[in-house]
Amino acid sequence: MTRVYIADAKREERSALRLLLLDLQMEIAGEGTDWATTFAEVPTSRSDILLIDWDVLPSTPSAALAELRVACPSALVIVLISPLDARQQAALSAGADAFISKGETPERVAEHLRTVASKVSIY
């Protein structure tokens, strides 16, 4: 089962993602509401996918994602962004494996998550 860590400051968004992930038969490995919590918990969560809201990242997202890659080298990183704009490219440039717009329908979010989950290495 694919393990996913959710990092989002908004309770209702975490709740919606949790329901979607459970519907996709993915396991919730943990949840964080800020960067400090996320960075502290993710290395021990054994997550396959890290679902991180852009607004949770600190002011230097590329450095934060680089540190995250060192702490969790096998996890795939998906950055959640609100509007599709220059932040899309910034998220990918900062080291994300993929991005998902929060404006997408649940079906499209599920499709993106399935695509990324298919890339998870099974040991």
> For residue 96, what is the domain's CATH number?
3.40.50.2300
Distances 24 to 2, 33, 76, 89, 100 between C-alpha atoms, Å: 9, 22, 17, 27, 16
Q: 110, exposed or middle or buried, with CB in 10 Å at 0-12, 13-18, 19+?
A: middle
38 within domain boundaries? yes
23 within domain boundaries? yes
122 within domain boundaries? no
89 within domain boundaries? yes
What is the reported pLDDT for 92? Answer: 61
Per-residue pLDDT tens listing for the chain (123 residues)? 899 999 999 999 999 999 999 999 999 999 999 999 999 999 999 999 999 998 899 988 889 999 999 999 999 999 887 665 556 666 666 677 777 877 888 888 888 888 888 888 664
Whole-number Å distance between alpha carbons of 56 and 61: 9
Residue 100, SS3 per DSSP: strand
Whole-number Å distance between alpha carbons of 39 and 31: 11
What is the reported pLDDT for 112? Answer: 86
What is the reported pLDDT for 105? Answer: 86
Instruction: Return all residues near 21 (Cβ < 8 A) that are at least 6 apart.
Output: 4, 6, 27, 28, 113
What is the reported pLDDT for 122? Answer: 60
111 within domain boundaries? yes
Angle at 71 (CA atoms; ends 97, 110), nearest 5 degrees: 35
123 within domain boundaries? no
Q: 91, exposed or middle or buried, with CB in 10 Å at 0-12, 13-18, 19+?
A: buried
What is the reported pLDDT for 96? Answer: 77
99 within domain boundaries? yes
Number of domains in the chain: 1
